Structure 1
Amino acid sequence: MEDLLKSTQQHSAQKLLILFRLEPGCLGPDGVDHIDTFCQLAERTLTHLNADVCQWFISPRFDKSLVEIQYSLAGKVLPRDKAVKYVQSFEQNLDTLEERFEDKLTQLINQYIARKQAR
């Protein structure tokens, strides 16, 4: 059992962590009131997306001086070119992963707005 736990910890430590900062305005004019809840829901929904290579984190982007997407591995922030190389080592493409993520995120935003308007 301990070996399995160590293996799981090592595997998750090897995943690329991708932090996506989401603008509150994407949820409409009152988005700032909903962004924290939405980010939590979206992050849980997208947990399994490309889980073999990366782990997605979503947080509000209140500070526009912060980059929209930040990559890290083993606790260290990576520049995009190194994140690209890391993902390529899994025979995958970072642009494709990000497009898939953004498509799913857009669907979630649209669903959230539709539910909000239906109330």
Structure 2
Amino acid sequence: MEELINSAREINTKKLVVLCRLEPGCLGPDGAEHINTFCQIAERALVNLNADVCHWFLAPRLDKSLVEIQYSLAGKVLSRDKAVKFIGSFDQDLDDIEERFEDKLTQLINQYIARKRQT
């Protein structure tokens, strides 16, 4: 996790860092065996998604007490309201960005599961 935080600090401070914690079950009953690999692969596939204003990080959600989506800017955690305002300053809408993210994530999950079944 420390590595993740340090990486986030290196990202341009003009971008919203979005950390999405994924439930292992999203990959099926054996998802716990695949979640780390999936997060790494999916993160690379999300590099260009709203890259002008966001940088995406994915991590397994192994601790249910942690929020599913966390926003930060320049290493400081933001509330969703502040993230909405920040994204709004670029004439963009966080709800739209998150919808595109969820669509892409669903596509990546489906592709990963389909490949996993082939092996």
The answer to whether TM tops 0.5 is: yes
Q: Offset of 1:11 from its aligned partner?
A: 8.1
1:12 aligned counterpart, secondary structure: coil
The match for 1:68 is 68
Specify the alignment match of 2:88 in structure 1.
Answer: 88
Length, aligned pairs only: 110
Q: 1:11 to 1:118 in 2, by over 3 A?
A: closer
Deviations 1:74-106 (A, max 9, x none): 110000000000000000000000000010000
Percent of pairs with identical residues: 73
The residue aligned with 1:52 is 52
Matched letter for residue 51 of structure 1: A
Corresponding residue number in structure 2 for 1:7: none
What pairs with 1:91-106 in structure 2 (closer than 5 Å)? 91-106=91-106
User: Counterparts of 1:34 and 1:11 in 2: how far apart (Å)?
Assistant: 27
Bigger CA radius of gyration: 1
Q: Where in structure 1 are there 5+ consecutive unaligned residues?
A: 1-9
2:5 is aligned to none
For 1:114 and 1:92, the matched residues in 2 are separated by: 33
Mapped to 1, the partners of 2:100 and 2:46 lie a distance apart of 11
| Long gaps (5+) in structure 2 | 1-9
The ranges of structure 1 where at least 4 consecutive aligned residues each deviate by more than 6 angstroms after the TM superposition are none
SS at match of 1:92: coil
One-letter amino acid of the counterpart of residue 69, structure 1: I
